[in-house]
Amino acid sequence: MQRVVLYTRNRCPHCDNAKAFLDKQQITYRLCNVSSPAGQKEFYKTGFRSVPVLKIGDRFIQGFSLKQYARALNT
């Protein structure tokens, strides 16, 4: 499987839903919290400005959509 990164921030309900989905599907992913300076710097390089953003390999999905996540992850 391709490398998966989830960009989130504190107190973000859509981010919490995205994390819950990935956890329920037992997807291995790296969490990048953009509330931290290091996370913010990494996230800035993606070109996106709002979270959640799911990165799968070189593909990005902005926001949380159960159907889009499932399709992209083939779950």
Domain regions of the chain by residue span: 4-42+49-64
pLDDT in 10s for each residue of the chain, 75 residues: 689 999 999 999 999 999 999 999 999 999 999 999 999 999 999 999 999 999 999 999 999 999 999 999 986
For the domain made up of 4-42+49-64, give the CATH fold. Glutaredoxin (3.40.30)
Supply the DSSP symbol for 75: -
